[in-house]
């Protein structure tokens, strides 16, 4: 099964149902979405796009962007979504790195992007779209092309499940983004697991809060399309404003919500959820970072009836473990809930530093194998090789870099990132544990802890904190609080009170930016 086939099957069954709703720019029906993406795929083939090529998507989240994504795959290419708000040099680096043949870009950004691409010697065809909204920009482009002299007809592309479907670029340790290559089989196996775990139907209304270059968008897009549901696009501005977002979820009758926990935390604190009717909401899914228990408890108290799931997994595997949050959260609980058990389409094991499987109760690195695990990193063979273990049977295991422990009951508990472990004065310290301790402060909104090299102590730990109160606690008060909640070895060296923590384009805390502020 290929990703575009999910849409085509749904269009055959539910041609007159609304596939995508893009407030306030309009809607598109399943039949129209399938036909428009077919037309675009054929046009891209005429432009020379072939099986295995890459097509860039440099567009705001919109119906046009979704059509471009599916049309690219129907032409045989893998789509490469980039953040349209990112610096132009970064977009040019990504498009050049994976040698896109064609890139869709909004007219207002095209000249700057073309100039940056020229600097690195890249000259893909830029398809400039005007007035990106309910599919009109794509339609207009195809209508204009139809008036020109037609290139020779090209036979329809035949794809295989192992062909790349998309390449998602993530931050790299070298400072340059690296492309994670996912095949149709990788994605479809994940979509099928979602169908098994969450039982979506054509009556569901999925949120699309995540940007298209974030792996959360894979669930939003393809699980909704497979089941004939309606995908409701959340524009970037609404997605950042808690009161507007709280109203949006209620008024648009969202039934399946999926986002990073930071968005849900923001809603509990500033969204005034008690003003709205959330009776349509049946599933709340969150992934991408740890959800502080104090905010999760508040959310469940305010909206108690949906089922809540903690989904865990890096871009390289998409979701690989999941955990159903219990109906009530005890007031005395302060530690985050587990990341749960491995998904049915994957296998997991925990290994020590030498790659040997360890016993339950011990800490080690979580490794994943199975049908959803990436093919590798684009054009980074050595990096790909280091990312995998291979056992005696020849099975490849992706090394997540996350340290977990098991409880013997099949659930994994997240301890922290391998690269967020530091040693100070002989003590091994997990920065996430310091954050968990800080979250016990009753007036705290958000906490982030970073470690930077220090000439005297070897490492300096800095805590960045945002508060509910107008005046933050004094340094003396904070140190007194930490003395009561953290071991002395984990006491931060410096405290910074900030209005809000900086976020990446995927709504995760921007730790790199915080390091620059120390």
Which residues of the chain are under the pLDDT cut of 50?
A: none
Residue 194 parent element (H or E) = helix 184-198
Cis-peptide, bond into residue 24, ω within 30° of zero: yes
Residue 208 parent element (H or E) = strand 205-208
Q: How far apart are CA 458 and CA 469, in angstroms?
A: 34
Which positions ≥6 away from 394 have C-beta within 8 Å?
none
DSSP 10: H
- pTM to 2 decimals? 0.86
User: Quick one: tokens of 253?
Assistant: 């009758």
Q: Specify the domain boundaries for CATH 3.40.50.980 within the chain.
A: 30-145+154-183, 234-334
Does the 346-416 domain belong in CATH 2.30.38.10? yes
For the chain, the C-alpha Rg in angstroms (whole number) is: 23
Can you give the pLDDT at residue 426?
A: 58
State whether residue 77 is helix, strand or coil: coil
Does the 234-334 domain belong in CATH 3.20.10.10? no
CATH number of 425-517: 3.30.300.30
Partnered with residue 25 across adjacent β-strands are none
**467 touches 437 (CB < 8 A):** no
Q: Specify the domain boundaries for CATH 3.30.300.30 within the chain.
A: 425-517
Can you give the pLDDT at residue 415?
A: 85
Q: Which CATH number fits domain 30-145+154-183: 3.40.50.980, 3.40.1390.10, 3.40.50.2300, 3.40.50.720?
A: 3.40.50.980
Q: Specify the domain boundaries for CATH 2.30.38.10 within the chain.
A: 346-416
Can you give the pLDDT at residue 299?
A: 96
Q: For residue 483, what are the CA distances in angstroms to 33, 434, 438, 450, 477?
A: 59, 12, 11, 19, 10
Residue 376's region, left for phi above 0, alpha for psi from -120 to 50, else beta, is left
């Amino acid at each position: 099964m290929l990703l575009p086939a999910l849409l085509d099957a749904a269009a055959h069954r539910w041609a007159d149902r609304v596939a995508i709703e893009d407030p306030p720019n309009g809607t598109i029906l399943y039949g129209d979405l399938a036909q428009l993406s077919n037309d675009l795929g054929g046009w891209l083939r005429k432009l020379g796009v072939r099986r295995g090529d890459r097509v860039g998507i440099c567009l705001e989240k919109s119906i046009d962007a979704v059509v471009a994504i599916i049309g690219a795959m129907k032409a045989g290419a893998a789509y490469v979504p980039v953040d349209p708000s990112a610096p132009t040099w970064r977009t040019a680096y990504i498009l050049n790195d994976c040698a896109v043949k064609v890139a869709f870009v909004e007219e207002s950004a095209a000249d700057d992007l073309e100039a940056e691409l020229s600097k690195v010697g890249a000259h893909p065809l830029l398809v400039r779209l005007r007035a990106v909204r309910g599919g009109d920009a794509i339609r207009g482009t195809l209508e204009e092309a139809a008036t020109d002299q037609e290139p020779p007809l090209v036979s329809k592309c035949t794809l295989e499940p192992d062909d790349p479907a998309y390449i998602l670029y993530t931050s790299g340790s070298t400072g340059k983004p690296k492309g994670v290559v996912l095949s149709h089989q990788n994605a479809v196996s994940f979509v099928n697991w979602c169908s098994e775990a969450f039982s979506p139907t054509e009556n569901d209304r999925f949120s699309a809060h995540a940007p298209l270059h974030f792996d959360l968008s894979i669930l939003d897009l393809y699980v909704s399309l497979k089941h004939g549901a309606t995908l409701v696009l959340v524009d970037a501005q609404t997605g950042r404003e808690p009161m507007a977002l709280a109203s949006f979820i209620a008024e648009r009758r969202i039934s399946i919500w999926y986002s990073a926990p930071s968005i849900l935390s923001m809603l509990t604190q500033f969204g005034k959820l008690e003003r709205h009717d959330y009776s349509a909401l049946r599933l709340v899914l969150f992934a991408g970072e740890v959800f502080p228990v104090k905010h999760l408890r508040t959310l469940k108290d305010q909206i108690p009836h949906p089922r809540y799931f903690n989904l865990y997994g890096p871009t390289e595997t998409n979701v690989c473990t999941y955990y159903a949050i219990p109906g009530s959260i005890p007031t005395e609980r302060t530690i985050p809930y587990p990341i749960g058990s491995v998904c049915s389409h994957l296998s997991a094991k925990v290994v020590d530093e030498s790659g040997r499987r360890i016993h339950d109760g011990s800490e080690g690195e979580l490794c994943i194998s199975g049908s959803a695990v990436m093919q590798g990193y684009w054009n980074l063979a050595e990096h790909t090789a280091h990312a995998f273990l291979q056992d005696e049977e020849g099975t490849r295991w992706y090394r997540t870099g996350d340290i977990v422990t098991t409880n013997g009951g099949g659930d994994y508990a997240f301890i922290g990132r391998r690269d967020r472990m530091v040693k100070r004065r002989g003590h091994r310290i997990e920065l996430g544990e310091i954050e968990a301790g800080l979250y016990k402060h009753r007036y705290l909104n958000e906490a982030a802890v970073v470690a930077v090299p220090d000439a005297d102590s070897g490492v300096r730990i800095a805590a960045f904190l945002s508060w509910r109160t107008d005046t933050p606690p004094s340094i003396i008060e904070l140190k007194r609080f930490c003395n009561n909640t953290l071991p002395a070895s984990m006491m931060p060296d410096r405290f910074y009170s900030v209005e809000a923590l900086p976020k990446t384009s995927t709504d995760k805390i921007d730790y790199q930016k915080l390091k620059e502020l120390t």
